[in-house]
Amino acid sequence: MAGSSVRGGSNCPPLFVTEKPTRMARYAYRLFASTVLAGVLLVWLYRATHVPPMSSGARWWAWLGLSAAELWFGFYWVLTLSVRWSPVFRRAFPDQLLRRYKEEQLPGVDIFVCTADPTVEPPMLVISTVLSVMAYDYPKEKLNIYLSDDAGSIITLYALYEASEFAKHWLPFCNKYQVEPRSPAAYFGTEASPPDACDRKEWFSLKEMHKDLAARVNSVVNSGKIPEVSKCKLMGFSRWSENASFRDHPSIVQILIDGNKRKATDVDGKVLPTLVYMAREKRPQEHHHFKAGSLNALIRVSSVISNSPVIMNVDCDMYSNNSGSIRDALCFFQDEQLGQDIAFVQYPQNFENVVQNDIYGNPINTVNELDHPCLDGWGGMCYYGTGCFHRREALCGRIYSPDYKEDWTRVARKTEDVIDLEGMAESLVTCTYEHNTLWGVEKGVIYGCPLEDVITGLQIQCRGWRSVYHNPPRKGFLGMAPTSLGQILVQHKRWTEGFLQISLSKYSPFLLGHRKISLGLQMGYSVCGFWAANSFPTLYYVTIPSLCFLNGISLFPEITSPWFVPFAYVAVAAYSCSLVESLQCGDTAVEWWNAQRMWLFRRITSYLLAAIDTIRRMLGVTESGFTLTAKVTDPRALERYKKGMMEFGSFSVMFAIITTVALLNLACMMLGVAKVLLRKGAVSLGAMFVQAVLCALIVAINFPVYEAMFVRKDSGRLPASVSVVSLCIVLPFCILPTKL
């Protein structure tokens, strides 16, 4: 995509540029989209003008449902145009930044890492992330790292303490050899031997040191006991009482490295970044608001310790993969011409643990390479909760005004005395602190929604700020994608519920964003906002036409009819376009095919259950929660994942739905074809052609399900209980009246 630069003239060279696809490419896409739109309209027209007589009973009902489904799909497709319409691509020039600002003129940066459970999120994983962000290529005295531990676990503090010791060797090493990535686990995990530039002895001794660190931390994880020697070195350990627990403990803030102190130096005598451990107070009767609550606590704690104008946050499993990310992000904030109103810079989510041809279609390349650049094009990439740089003022509720001038070099520390400072910080993260304040409403991250991040970003944009999306060639962050079907579906259910809640609340992009953000952006948000609404039409489309096929009820135009053309055109055009996009964005054809399967599975399970649960919650039956996404997988399951085998294993309603749909279509296809051939000969297939193809495609895409059901013997296969339940549902449909 060759680009044209959009920027007015100025004296100093820009810190970033924005590129767009060529005008030709944009118009070609729009032309294509209008032909598809014409097809959609014709499909609607056909449905409206060929309604069967009501006396035809089943056919009439099936027709009605199908029309509604197609009406929705058409409408939804129009929404998705917003994330294809006008992508923009950003390029930052950190060298210019270096030339323009001296080190002491650069802003301080506060980095937040969140963890919530030392069993689901192993402390070694957490500290690898912490070490990767401590090692950013940025003046260390300007860098402050805060770890929020929602489990309030002494083991996590211990791991962090060990990390602070290891950092004294790791940071100078990274600096000396320009190491990438700077997560020691990721680095030593991929590099088997020292690169040429490295001193061999130094490299091996550091690797050994890291191995020892892992051994010490893991032994404490296993035993649950902190070694006495460490206890003497860090006062924080004495703060845990016998009866403190996950849900019931006081607030603890512990400054492990105080960057202000001269003695906090690495082995080369250079300053280290400030490192702070925080566990906010938890009491069983007080709602803690999950990750949103910890982020707000971190904002307050950091406000008395460093109060940097820039805040970055990552999930504990998302290490920094690019040591230049801070400088890149600052290029956007500090551009004199265009940076004024930028509230946050979001990096894409990329995953370290996905394999080639991932069976779950995990590499979300089209989302990262197309959807997000388009949101950016509308002036508002959304905030995704991790890998995002924020302007503190905007995050804390400031409304954008052109007169406002940021003081990038401000430093604020309430008191020099560390003990006082910790005490002060602790008083800001008690359970009652937020009572009757605007925290979670106007200030900080918004509460009450499983997608706190998206809603927060939207609110910031509605206050007049813009956001940008930055996707440099070397990925900024790498995280862990769930690698089992159940986990993925559950994660998507949480997201879908979150999006649906947003769409139905006063925070809906159409209400909150009315006249504040562009229509394109409102539509862009709604693409995810209406995920849940896709569930019912999709479920209908993958069951009813097949059942009708079995029963000889035709629902689509005959293959010889001119009305067949729009149906065929829309389907072929939409899918080939999606395939081409996917290939262009770097997916393989297999990945695309797998992603289509996951798309189907998510729609008939995660989206469906999310819709049902949201309705139940609106009726006051259930409360929302946050099921942590697993970060460790059973080694055998991991092997299977690498071999491209889908992981089922235990009973779940979601699996039962998937299997039922798969079995139903298999039965319909076999019985339906047999019937047509036996009774009427192949000629009569004409009226059923579309349904036969649809049914066959559903069968083809469900191949891994049949395999898991009938062929596989490993522990990840479909449990017999799921098969039995599905069979009981499908059987009656196969033997019941063939002429309804």
Ligand X SMILES: O=c1ccn([C@@H]2O[C@H](COP(=O)(O)OP(=O)(O)O[C@H]3O[C@H](CO)[C@@H](O)[C@H](O)[C@H]3O)[C@@H](O)[C@H]2O)c(=O)[nH]1
Q: Residue 488 and residue 507: Cα distance in Å, rounded?
A: 26
Nearer to ligand X, 317 or 335 (CB): 317
Kindly determine how many residues on this chain lie close enough to bind Mn ion according to the rule CB under 5 A: 2
Nearer to ligand X, 125 or 550 (CB): 125
Partner interacting with residue 386 (select from ligand X, Mn ion, none; CB below 5-8 Å by kind): ligand X
Q: Residue 222 and residue 155: Cα distance in Å, rounded?
A: 10
* Residue reference for tokens 């005295």: 141
Partner interacting with residue 115 (select from ligand X, Mn ion, none; CB below 5-8 Å by kind): ligand X
Q: Residue 539 and residue 370: Cα distance in Å, rounded?
A: 27
- Residue 735's CB is within 10 A of a number of other CB atoms, namely 9
Q: Which of residues 95-124 bind ligand X (CB under 6 A)?
A: 114-116, 121
Comparing C-alpha atoms, which of 712, 570, 585 is closest to residue 47?
570
Measure the CA angle with vertex 416, ends 414 and 418; round to 5°. Answer: 100
Nearer to ligand X, 58 or 628 (CB): 628
Q: Is 315 annotated as a binding residue?
A: yes
453 is catalytic: yes
Any residues with CB less than 8 A from the CB of 173 and at least 6 apart, and which? 179, 202, 206
Partner interacting with residue 408 (select from ligand X, Mn ion, none; CB below 5-8 Å by kind): none
Q: Residue 664 and residue 50: Cα distance in Å, rounded?
A: 28
487 binds Mn ion (CB under 5 A): no
313 binds Mn ion (CB under 5 A): no
Q: Residue 215 and residue 636: Cα distance in Å, rounded?
A: 23
Nearer to ligand X, 121 or 587 (CB): 121
In b/e form, how buried is each residue of 440-466, taking b as 16+ CB within 10 angstroms? beebbbbbebbbbbbbbbbbbbbbbbb
Say if residues 301 and 115 touch (Cβ distance below 8 Å): no
Looking at 74-82, 288-296, 330-338, 354-362, which segment touches ligand X (CB under 6 A)?
A: 288-296
Of the candidates 110, 328, 376, 453, the residue annotated as catalytic is 453
How is residue 240 annotated by DSSP? Answer: -
Looking at 247-255, 274-282, 312-320, 710-718, which segment touches Mn ion (CB under 5 A)?
A: 312-320
Burial of 470: CB neighbours in 10 Å, binned 0-12, 13-18, 19+: buried
- Which member of 110, 150, 369, 591 binds ligand X (CB under 6 A)? 150
149 is catalytic: no
457 binds ligand X (CB under 6 A): no
DSSP H helices in 277-414? 290-305, 325-334, 365-366, 372-377, 392-395
- Which member of 39, 152, 385, 649 binds ligand X (CB under 6 A)? 385
As measured in angstroms, the least distance from the Cβ of 118 to ligand X is 10
Looking at 11-19, 131-139, 287-295, 694-702, which segment touches ligand X (CB under 6 A)?
A: 287-295
Binding mask 595-634 for ligand X (x = CB under 6 A): -------------------------------x-xx-----
Nearer to Mn ion, 67 or 629 (CB): 629
As measured in angstroms, the least distance from the Cβ of 521 to ligand X is 20
Say if residues 320 and 136 touch (Cβ distance below 8 Å): yes
Nearer to ligand X, 235 or 632 (CB): 632
How many residues appear in the chain? 740
Instruction: End-to-end CA distance of the chain: give it in Å, rounded.
Output: 55
Nearer to ligand X, 496 or 723 (CB): 496
Determine the number of helices (DSSP H) and then strands (DSSP E) in the chain.
27, 13
As measured in angstroms, the least distance from the Cβ of 144 to ligand X is 18
Say if residues 72 and 533 touch (Cβ distance below 8 Å): yes
246 binds ligand X (CB under 6 A): no
392 binds ligand X (CB under 6 A): no
Binding mask 468-497 for ligand X (x = CB under 6 A): -----------------------x--xx--
Which residues lie across from 248 on neighbouring strands? 245
Q: Is 493 annotated as a binding residue?
A: no
Comparing C-alpha atoms, which of 354, 353, 329 is closest to residue 343?
329
Question: What is the residue-wise DSSP string for 374-440?
Answer: HHHHTTBPPP-SSSEEEEHHHHTTPPP-TT----TT----S-S-HHHHHHHHHHTTSTTTTTTSSBT
- Which member of 16, 170, 187, 290 binds ligand X (CB under 6 A)? 290
352 binds ligand X (CB under 6 A): no
Q: Write phi, then psi, for 577 (nearest 5 degrees).
A: -60, -45
258 binds ligand X (CB under 6 A): no
Residue type, 681: G
Q: Is 587 annotated as a binding residue?
A: no
Partner interacting with residue 322 (select from ligand X, Mn ion, none; CB below 5-8 Å by kind): none
Nearer to ligand X, 380 or 385 (CB): 385
How is residue 198 annotated by DSSP? Answer: S
Looking at 448-456, 606-614, 653-661, 717-725, which segment touches ligand X (CB under 6 A)?
A: 448-456
Any residues with CB less than 8 A from the CB of 269 and at least 6 apart, and which? none
Pairing of strands 143-149, 109-115: parallel
Q: How far is CA 694 from the centre of its chain?
A: 31
Q: Which of residues 291-320 bind ligand X (CB under 6 A)?
A: 291, 294, 315-316
629 binds Mn ion (CB under 5 A): yes
Q: Is 150 annotated as a binding residue?
A: yes
Binding mask 508-547 for ligand X (x = CB under 6 A): ----------------------------------------
Say if residues 665 and 546 touch (Cβ distance below 8 Å): yes
As measured in angstroms, the least distance from the Cβ of 349 to Mn ion is 9
Nearer to ligand X, 245 or 337 (CB): 245
Of the candidates 110, 150, 317, 613, the residue annotated as catalytic is 150
Residues identified as active-site: 150, 453
Residues at the binding site for Mn(2+) are 291, 315
Residues lying near Mn ion in the complex (CB under 5 A): 315, 629
- Which residues belong to the annotated binding site for UDP-alpha-D-glucose? 121, 150
Query: Could you list the residues that contact ligand X (CB under 6 A)?
Result: 114-116, 121, 148, 150, 290-291, 294, 315-316, 385-386, 450-451, 453, 491, 494-495, 626, 628-629
Residues belonging to the binding site are 121, 150, 291, 315
